[in-house]
Structure 1
């Protein structure tokens, strides 16, 4: 029994993080490269949900207005979700007829986005966060795949160019891993979802976002629900910063896990391989098994203790686990950042897995996060 638990708890995490992308890599020769037809200028509505983003909103609007993409029409909507700082004032201070500022009561990000979309006139909705910045060609690169009518949504690529001295090193490396995985999903036509930092969706596909879900996942999966593809556009880049503090990393992963599982519950129809084929398998692997894998690490460790006398293999795996946890704990306790980078990377992995485990427990208990405060994750 201990051996069964050990191998089950080992194989599922290995599949989720390594086996799944390697399987996609092996399948790529079977899929022809997607041709990208030329796209005519589109009418665009850029939606920026903001809560207490006074220090960021001005620069964000300037970078959106400075895009080299010549839209047929451009509309920018700032939806302030009950901000208590000067977000609304700063947004209104940028005088441009293309900008519309909504001073909404506090209702949560989903409510703010739904209210903003009701005001949108563009054929394409572009969602982006207030605290990241675009390159000059980001919008044009993002919209290029929409010349293909089978493409319903496009996902941009988040870059953390200057990791800090703490856990943001792991944050940056994780973004590289996610980029690799999304390239494989994109190549095999099963791109799962988009990051809320930058995503585009055909307006006719939009469905109102329920409370408590991860808005980026729900919005981008409006495309596969309608039988359309999500396309990953690596060249459409947004610049962000990592999070060094362990408590902030933990809270973010906890909140994302709860919202992600609630999102999967809302989109459970997409988990049916008989209807959605490879996309459903990708969704199960990328978004479900990965979130469940974190809770298997403790039984893996306990089973390994039980199997200490079963042979040298189990002794080596137990020592490797203990060493990994020891390195991670040392990285967490190294507040002066004097230890080498692998210690901080191990600490990031431990905090991430712990946050996912607590998030899963909160989901099972029915807990949810209706409000959002980006400042808590910076």
Structure 2
């Protein structure tokens, strides 16, 4: 019995983090690249939900207004979710007719986005955050695949150019891993979702966002619900900052896990392989099994202790686990970043696994997060 539990607890996490990406890479070798047709400029509404983003909003709006994409119509909607700083005043000070500023009461990000979409007048909705940085050609690169009518949503690539001295190093590497995974999914036509830092969706596909889901996942999956593809555009890049502090990293991963599982519950129809084929398998592998896998690591460790005398393989794996957890603890204690980078990476993994495990527990107990505070993630 102990061996059965051990192998179950080992193989599922291995598949989620290693096996699935390797299978995608293998299938991608045989996938033919899809040509990107040339299309006419589209009408675009860019939507930013913001809460106390006075330090970033003016620069972000000016960057959006300077995009070199020749949109047939450009509308920018800033939906301030109960900001108590000068976010609204800074946006209004631009005095640009293309910018619509909504000073909304505090209700949560989903409510702010839903209100903004109701006022959007254009065919393509582009969602982004106030604090990430665009280049002048970001919008044009993001929207290029929209010339294909079978493409319902597009997602860009987030980069952390200057990782800090602690956990943000792992954050940056995790972004690279996710980017590679999305590129592999993209080649096989089963990209499961896009990052909310840079996300485009056809207006006709939009569905109102429930208050307790991860908005970027829910918005981008409006495309496969309607039988359309999500496309990953690596060339469309945004710059962001990582999270160095363990407490902030833990809280972010916890909230993302709770919201992600709630999102999957809302989109459970997409988990049916008989109806959605390879996309459903990718969604189960990328989003469901990965979120369940961390809770298997503790029984894996306990079974491994029990199986110490079962052979050399079990002993070596137990030693590897103990070394990994020990390195993570030392990395958390090394607040000045004096230890080698591997300890910081181990600390990031340890905090991430803890946040995901507690997030699963909170989800099962009915805990939900409706409000948001972007400053907690910086």
TM-score normalised to structure 2 length: 0.99
CA distance in 1, matches of 2:78, 2:101: 5
1:285 match: 285
Matched residue SS, 1:4: helix
CA distance in 1, matches of 2:180, 2:297: 25
Matched residue SS, 1:369: coil
> Offset at 1:39?
1.6
Query: Per-residue CA shift, 1:215-266, capped at 9, x if unaligned?
Result: 0000000000000000000000000000000000000000000000000000
Query: Per-residue CA shift, 1:122-164, capped at 9, x if unaligned?
Result: 1000000011010111000000000100000000100000000
Q: Which runs of 4+ in 1 moved over 4 A?
A: none
1:243 match: 243
Query: Per-residue CA shift, 1:40-64, capped at 9, x if unaligned?
Result: 1110000000000000101110111
Gaps of 5+ in 2: none
Residues 239-248 or 21-30, more deviating: 21-30
> Offset at 1:33?
0.9
1:24 match: 24
1:350 match: 350
1:276 match: 276
CA distance in 1, matches of 2:313, 2:280: 35
2:301 match: 301
CA distance in 2, matches of 1:287, 1:263: 10
1:119 match: 119
CA distance in 1, matches of 2:35, 2:336: 50
CA distance in 2, matches of 1:33, 1:243: 35
State whether structure 2 residue 330 is matched by structure 1 residue 330: yes
Taking the TM superposition and a 5 Å limit, the aligned residue runs for 1:144-163 are 144-163=144-163
CA distance in 2, matches of 1:325, 1:29: 36
CA distance in 1, matches of 2:264, 2:343: 33
Matched residue SS, 1:77: strand
Matched residue SS, 1:54: coil
1:187 match: 187
Gaps of 5+ in 1: none
1:200 match: 200
Query: Per-residue CA shift, 1:17-76, capped at 9, x if unaligned?
Result: 110011011112332211111021110000000000000101110111111111100000
CA distance in 2, matches of 1:158, 1:312: 42
> Offset at 1:95?
1.6
CA distance in 1, matches of 2:336, 2:239: 26
1:4 match: 4
Taking the TM superposition and a 5 Å limit, the aligned residue runs for 1:12-161 are 12-161=12-161
> Offset at 1:79?
0.0
1:167 match: 167
